[in-house]
Amino acid sequence: MSALHLNLKVWRQKNQQSKGEFQTYQVEANEHMSFLEMMDVLNQDLIEKKKEPVAFDHDCREGICGACSMVINGKPHGPLSGTTTCQLHMRHFKDGETIVVEPFRAKAFPIVRDLVVDRSSFDRIIQAGGFISVNTGQAIDGNAIPIDKDTASKSFDAAACIGCGACVAACPNGSAMLFTSAKISHLGLLPQGKMEHTRRVNNMVSQMDEEGFGFCSNIGACEAECPKGISLENIARMNRGYIKASLLD
Amino acid sequence: MSLSGLFLIVFLLIHLLGNLQLLKADGGQAFNIYGYFMTHNPLIKMVSYGLYLFILIHAIQGTLLWLKNRSAKGSSYAVNSNAGTNMFSRYMMHFGIIIFIFIIIHMIQFWLKMKMGVLDQVSYDGVDHTVANLYAPCQLAFSNIGYVLFYVLSMLILAFHLNHGFQSAFQTLGWNHPKYNGLIKIVGLLYSILIPLGFAIIPIFMFLNK
Ligand code: HEM
Ligand code: SF4
Ligand code: FES
């Protein structure tokens, strides 16, 4: 097991109002650690020195919750494609390397502290989507509604979005179109969610604008950085729905 | 944005077909007759006012979009990877400004002269009226190496703008389908190279033949 001596440049910021700055730290990690475990080592060290540990978001540490927001060397979730920060292992870094760690940046993701940003705007976009029409009561037979394989797969691919916000972090326009379109697609493609599709598109897009996210100019950084491989095809589907909604409502 | 952009894309094609008549070795006859037709046909006149409007709408929308998106980003990173992006998509606004400046100079140079009626009138066999000699200012402008270079560079920038703009407009309208995406990319690439190239050949040709 080889040790890694790393130079970390980490963004430190006390709260939303204060002006942040980079601080440099030396950390000794090993190649089997995840990036977050390496950050834990740094924090343990800071605590022992009676200094303030670096605040960062994390929860599941298995790539499914979307909490671990960090921009590592200019890339949301770091250098490995299709991987969240918590699933990124230190063997992808070299001994002696300098690693720059910054928070996700977008006006609609205000910094709470250090690397923690407030992504509640995403929750409000999801809430704006409203309900889907399924009967309450006993769970119905999963196979009672026929759905063809391709549609089910497309919906499932969109549902893989973990709401991490890397798309917004990567987008030069601070746009949340990839996230919103993934949420819209995974419901709108299935019979249970199709009925409210147009209204849902309208409401979610309005909420997205209200939160202060930018508009998509089809740059494609979001798709490249999304840890779950969400496709730009979803944005086109949302645009179609939005045009339909503008023409009909 | 996408609709005005696509309108401008169609316009460019037609404008190029007209301009290519400058390459005819007839001392400007075909081009001048075409110029007369374009300024006197009522339908074309209406379309051209629509065109000025579309250019303005496109420029204003583009600028507002750019301002909104800059403020939505807020702050910038210390390290940028730019993964998945290209310089065409990131500098659409900058390209647009250069194209806009080009359009203004271009209009002063040719359109304004036509409108002010300061051009000489020439007559041709088989045409029962005189036509303005729009060929003359073209010849004059394109004998100036500085203007030829400015024109050719502007066309290069236009190519950059269209390289992203063409496919972007389709995505904005929701026309994204795995079966046709390749086709849109190829047609967009061909269009964004061939149309500006076609425009750029004219001043180069006229400069070399002066
Ligand atoms: C004849 C000239 C022009 C043509 C053919 C053209 C065409 C296009 C097209 C097709 C798009 C993509 C639209 C979309 O994705 O929805 C676009 C985008 C854009 N245009 Fe133009 N344009 C021209 C001139 C201009 C001018 C004069 C400006 C500004 C002063 C400008 C600024 C922009 C901006 C900022 C965008 C970015 C929006 C985006 O990528 O979606 N363009 N243009
Ligand atoms: S679309 Fe991808 S990058 Fe954006 S929130 Fe969902 S999982 Fe994260
Ligand atoms: S901590 Fe849950 S996805 Fe990384």
Per DSSP, the three-state class of A76 is strand
Distance B52 CA to ligand 2 centre (A): 40
CATH (one of 3.40.50.300, 2.40.37.10, 3.10.20.30, 3.30.310.50) for A3-112: 3.10.20.30
Per DSSP, the three-state class of B174 is coil
Considering only CB atoms, B83 lies closest to which of A225, A237, A243, namely: A225
CA-proximal residue: ligand 2, atom 1 (nearest): A179
Residues in a beta bridge with A185 = none
A22 touches chain B (CB under 8 A): yes
Cβ neighbours of A79 (radius 10 Å): 15
Q: Is the CB of A72 under 6 A from ligand 2?
A: no
**Closest residue in A to B65 (Cα–Cα):** A215
**Given the CA of residue A170, which atom of ligand 2 is nearest to it?**
3
Interface probe for A, chosen from B2, B76, B79 (most Cβ of A below 10 Å), is B79
**pLDDT by residue, tens only, chain A of 249 residues:** 679 999 999 999 999 999 999 999 999 999 999 999 999 999 999 999 999 999 999 999 999 999 999 999 999 999 999 999 999 999 999 999 999 999 999 999 999 999 999 999 999 999 999 988 887 888 888 788 899 999 999 999 999 999 999 999 999 999 999 999 999 999 999 998 999 999 999 999 999 999 999 999 999 999 999 999 999 999 999 999 999 988 887
Distance A71 CA to ligand 2 centre (A): 14
Distance A217 CA to ligand 2 centre (A): 17
- Which of A100, A107, A85 lies closest to A169, judged by CA? A107
Q: Which residues of B touch A (CB under 8 A)?
A: 65, 68-69, 71-85, 89-90, 92, 164, 167-168, 171-176, 178
**pTM of the entire structure?**
0.93
Boundaries of every domain in chain A: 3-112, 119-248
Report the alpha-carbon distance of residue B36 to residue A86 in Å, rounded.
69
The domain made up of A119-248 has a fold known as: Fumarate Reductase Iron-sulfur Protein; Chain B, domain 2 (1.10.1060)
Contact A43, A193 (CB under 8 A): no
